[in-house]
A and B are shown apart, each in its own frame.
Chain A
Amino acid sequence: MAVLNVNGKSLPADADPRTPLLWVLRDTLGLTGTKYGCGIAQCGACTVHIDGVAARSCQVPLSSVGGKKVVTIEGLAENGKLSKIQQAWLEHDVPQCGYCQSGMIMAATALLAAKPQPTDSDIDAAMTNICRCGTYKQVREALHAAAKA
Chain B
Amino acid sequence: MTMQSSIGQSPLGRRGFLVSGATVVGGFALGLHFPFVGPAEAAEAQEIDAWVVIHPDDRVVIRIARSEMGQGTLTGLAQLVAEELECDWSKVSTEYPTPGENLRRGRVWRDFSTGGSRGIRGSQQYVREGGAVAREMLIAAAAAEWKVPAGECKAAGSVVTHAPSGRTRRYGELAAAAAKLEPPRRVALKDPKDWTLIGKPVKRLDTLDKLTGRQIYGIDMRLPGMLVATVKACPVFGGKIKSFDAAKVEKMHGVKKVVSIDDNAVVVVADTYWNAHTALEALPVQWDTGSFGRLQQEAVTAMLKDGLGAGEAFIGNKAGDARAAIDGAAKKVEATYAFPWQYHGTMEPMNATALYTPDKCEVWCGTQNGEAALAATAEAAGLAVARCDVHKLMVGGGFGRRGRTDYVRQAVLVAKQMPGTPVKLVWSREEDTTHDQYHPTTMCKLMGGLDADGKLVGLHVRLSGQSIRASLAPQSIRANGDPGVFQGFTPGGQESAYGYEVPNLLIDHAMRNPHLPAGFWRGVNTNQNAVYMECFMDELAEAAGQDPLEFRLKMLKPKHTAVLKAAAGRAGYGKPLPVGHVHGLAQIMGYGSYVAAIAEVSVSGDGILKIHKITAATDPGHAVNPAQIERQVAGSFVFGLSAALYGEITVKDGAVEQTNFDSYNVMRIDEMPDVDVALVPSGGFWGGVGEPTIAVAAPAVLNGIYRATGKRVRELPLMKHDLKKGA
- Mark A residues whose CB is within 8 Å of B: 15-16, 19-20, 23, 26-28, 30-40, 42-43, 45, 72-74, 76-77, 82, 86, 89-90, 93-102, 105, 123-125, 127-140
Asked if B347 and A128 make an inter-chain contact with CB atoms under 8 angstroms apart, the answer reads no
B17 at the interface (CB under 8 A from A): no
| Interface-side segment among B2-10, B122-130, B503-511, B662-670 | B662-670
Q: Please tell me if the beta carbons of A140 and B669 are within 8 angstroms of each other in the complex.
A: yes
B residues less than 8 Å from A32 (CB atoms): 213, 216, 219-220, 222
B271 surroundings in chain A (CB, below 8 A):
27
Query: Among the listed stretches B312-320, B331-339, B439-447, B631-639, which one makes contact with chain A, having 4 or more residues with CB under 8 Å of it?
Result: B631-639
Smallest CB-CB A-B distances: 10 pairs: A33-B213, A134-B638, A97-B70, A98-B210, A134-B635, A99-B396, A96-B70, A124-B670, A73-B213, A32-B220
Q: Which residues of A contact B275 (CB under 8 A)?
A: 16
Q: Using A15-B272, A27-B272, A100-B347 as known contacts, say yes or no to A74 and B212 having CB atoms under 8 A apart.
A: yes
Of A38, A102, A125, the contact of B213 (CB 8 Å cutoff): A102
Chain B residues 270 to 285 lying within 8 A of chain A, measured CB to CB, are: 271-275
Known: A35-B396, A82-B212; 19 extra A-B contacts, CB below 8 A, are A15-B274, A19-B274, A27-B271, A27-B273, A32-B220, A33-B215, A37-B348, A39-B428, A73-B213, A86-B212, A96-B71, A96-B631, A98-B70, A99-B348, A123-B669, A127-B669, A128-B668, A130-B666, A131-B347
A132 B347 Cβ-Cβ under 8 A: yes
Task: For the complex, give the distance between the alpha carbons of A136 and B220 in Å.
Answer: 24
Q: Cβ of A93 and Cβ of B207 under 8 Å apart?
A: yes
In contact, A132 and B214 (Cβ under 8 angstroms): no
- Contact between A90 and B213, CB atoms less than 8 A apart: no
Alpha-carbon distance A47/B326, docked complex (angstroms): 58
Q: Across the interface, which residues of A come within 8 angstroms of B426, CB to CB?
A: 36
Query: Are A82 and B211 touching (Cβ within 8 A)?
Result: yes
Bound-state CA distance A33–B210 (Å) is 9
Which one, A19, A101, A127, A131, contacts B211 given CB within 8 A?
Answer: A101
Binary contact track B181-213/A, C-beta < 8 Å → 1, others 0? 000000000000000000000011011101111
**Which single member of A101, A124, A137 contacts B675 (CB below 8 Å)?**
A137
Please name all residues of chain A whose beta carbon is closer than 8 Å to the beta carbon of B588 when the two chains form the complex. Answer: none
Give chain A residues whose Cβ lies under 8 Å from the Cβ of B168.
none
Contact B396 A27 (CB under 8 A): no
B658 is an interface residue with CB less than 8 A from chain A: no
> Across the interface, which residues of A come within 8 angstroms of B211, CB to CB?
73, 82, 86, 89-90, 95, 101, 105
* Cβ-closest chain A residue relative to B659: A40
**Which A residues are in CB contact (< 8 Å) with B215?**
33, 98
- The smallest beta-carbon distance between A93 and chain B, in angstroms, is 5
Chain A residues near B346 (CB, 8 Å)? 97, 99, 132
B632 — nearest CB in chain A belongs to which residue?
A96
A133 and B633 alpha carbons, distance in the complex (Å):
10
Q: Give the chain B neighbours of A135 by CB distance below 8 A.
A: 631, 635
Taking each of B72, B211, B635, B637, which has the highest tally of chain A beta carbons within 10 Å of its own beta carbon? Answer: B211
B214 x A33 contact (CB < 8 A): yes
Most buried by A among B70, B228, B347: B347
Nearest-neighbor residue (CB-CB) of A133 within chain B: B70
Distance in Å: Cβ of A55 to nearest Cβ of chain B:
16
- Smallest CB gap from A99: residue in B: B396
Given contacts A23-B272, A32-B216, A95-B210, contact A40 B635 (CB under 8 A): no
A145 CA / B397 CA spacing, docked (Å): 26
Chain A residues with CB under 8 A of B37: none
Kindly list chain B residues whose C-beta atoms are within 8 Å of the C-beta of A28. Answer: 272
Provided the pairs A128-B668, A135-B631 are in contact, do residues A36 and B273 lie with their beta carbons within 8 angstroms? yes
Query: Smallest CB–CB gap between B490 and chain A, Å?
Result: 27
